[in-house]
């Protein structure tokens, strides 16, 4: 396997009884990349990351993380990575400083470096003035920063983050991603799972996973080009009602709510815009604007999911 890759797996699979949680995933992550692993809850993201972290043995397939085999060297992998789980993993009853000291011991940080690393975590997380506060008293965003700092106390070359911003406010999410970018610029490879599509824009490369399968892969700009159809933004009064009418018509392929607007997939924007204006007016809606827009990653993901569902349904009928 290529030594330029921090992570390289082929046909990685995990089965629980009759359920295939991860279905023959193959991917590579270059050293120093921020790699996003995106998908809805239950898609297989956490199961995949647990296999890569040496916490769960794959049912089949092959791979290496930090140069070590996922099948036979899981304990060695654990010593060469940082891992931040989906669930907050620090101790609420300990102070900020006590949690850092505890994890410095867990990760066998050399005693001569522990003060330096502790000071770095406190500075990075912005918690220097809260070092003696009980961790349970911190707001969610501060807790996530502290958990991130503890995960990299031992300066691992690869950092795995499983839904790190779940449950925190948008500002804290953005600040957290700023920290991820800083680590990447220093050479750390960051493998992050998320179901927030807007976070994919911060990644160097990403993969979309759905029902255990990887359904798309590439740089964010490349993934946006995977929809061959056109995307229209429709702003209209009573968007929920308009969505129902559009889904009953044959004018659009797919429709979804995006905030207070609708995004629809059509084969030809130039032909569809006047037809939709007429249709919605006839249905009693006040149309504010219908315009073609660049597909967002959420547009792409919704389209690919529905395409995958159709293919599975057709396969089931065959």
pLDDT (tens place) for every residue of the chain, 318 residues total:
556 899 999 999 999 999 999 999 999 999 999 999 998 888 999 999 999 999 999 999 999 999 999 999 999 999 999 998 877 678 899 999 999 999 999 889 999 999 999 999 999 888 899 999 999 998 888 888 899 889 989 999 999 998 888 777 788 888 888 889 988 998 999 999 988 888 888 999 999 999 999 999 999 989 988 888 899 999 999 999 999 999 999 999 888 888 889 999 899 999 999 999 999 999 999 999 999 998 888 888 888 888 888 888 877 554
The answer for residues whose C-beta is within 8 angstroms of residue 152's C-beta and 6 or more apart is 82, 121, 159, 183, 188
Q: Where are the domains of the chain?
A: 5-223, 228-294
What pLDDT does 318 receive?
Answer: 42
What pLDDT does 50 receive?
Answer: 93
Tokens representing residue 217 in the block: 């892969």
CATH class of 228-294: alpha beta
The answer for residues whose C-beta is within 8 angstroms of residue 36's C-beta and 6 or more apart is 192, 193, 194, 199, 200, 202, 203, 205, 206, 207
Any idea of the CA torsion for 84, 90, 95, 99, to the nearest 10 degrees? -60
Pick 5-223's CATH classification: 2.102.10.10, 3.60.110.10, 3.20.20.60, 3.40.50.300.
Answer: 3.40.50.300
pTM: 0.83
Asked if 5-223 and 228-294 have one fold, the answer is no
Any idea of the CA torsion for 145, 33, 83, 75, to the nearest 10 degrees? -160
Place of tokens 């800083």: 182
Sheet containing strand 287-293, strands side by side: 254-258, 261-266, 230-236, 287-293
Burial code (b: 16+ CB inside 10 Å, e: under 16) for 270-301 equals eebbeebeebbeeeebebeebeeeebbbbbbb
The Cβ-side half-sphere exposure at 103, using a 13 Å CA radius, reads 25
Measured CA to CA in angstroms, residue 170 lies from 102, 141, 179, 204 at distances of: 30, 10, 14, 21
What pLDDT does 116 receive?
Answer: 94
Measured CA to CA, the distance from residue 78 to residue 35 in angstroms comes to 19
Any idea of the CA torsion for 29, 30, 34, 40, to the nearest 10 degrees? -10
Any idea of the CA torsion for 113, 118, 120, 126, to the nearest 10 degrees? 180
Q: Is residue 18 classed as helix, strand or coil in its secondary structure?
A: coil
């Amino acid at each position: 396997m290529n030594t330029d890759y921090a992570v390289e797996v082929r046909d990685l699979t995990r089965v629980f009884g009759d359920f295939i949680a991860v279905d023959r995933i193959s991917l590579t992550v270059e050293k120093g990349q921020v790699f996003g692993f995106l998908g809805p809850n239950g898609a297989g993201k956490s199961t995949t990351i647990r296999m890569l972290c040496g916490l769960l043995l794959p049912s089949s397939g092959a791979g290496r993380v930090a140069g070590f085999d996922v099948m036979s060297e899981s304990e060695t992998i654990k010593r060469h990575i940082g891992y931040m789980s989906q669930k907050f993993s620090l101790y609420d009853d300990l102070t900020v400083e006590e949690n850092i000291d505890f994890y410095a011991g867990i990760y066998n940080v050399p005693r001569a470096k522990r003060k330096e690393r502790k000071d770095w975590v406190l500075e990075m997380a912005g918690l220097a003035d809260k070092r003696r506060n009980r961790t349970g008293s911190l707001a969610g965003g501060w807790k996530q920063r502290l958990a991130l700092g503890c995960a990299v106390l031992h300066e691992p070359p690869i950092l795995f983050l499983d839904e790190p911003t779940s449950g925190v406010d948008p500002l804290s999410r953005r600040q957290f991603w700023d920290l991820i970018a800083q680590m990447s610029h220093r050479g750390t490879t960051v493998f992050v799972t998320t179901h927030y599509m807007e976070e994919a824009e911060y990644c160097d490369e990403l993969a979309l996973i759905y029902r255990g399968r990887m359904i798309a892969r590439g740089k964010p700009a490349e993934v946006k080009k995977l929809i061959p159809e056109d995307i229209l933004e429709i702003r209209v009064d009573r968007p929920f009602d308009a969505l129902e009418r559009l889904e009953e018509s044959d004018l659009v392929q797919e429709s979804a709510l995006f905030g207070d607007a609708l995004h629809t997939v059509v084969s030809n924007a130039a032909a569809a815009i006047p037809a939709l204006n007429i249709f919605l007016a006839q249905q009693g809606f006040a149309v504010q604007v219908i315009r073609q827009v660049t597909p967002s990653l959420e547009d792409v993901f919704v389209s690919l999911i529905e395409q995958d569902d159709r293919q599975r349904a057709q396969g089931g009928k065959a």
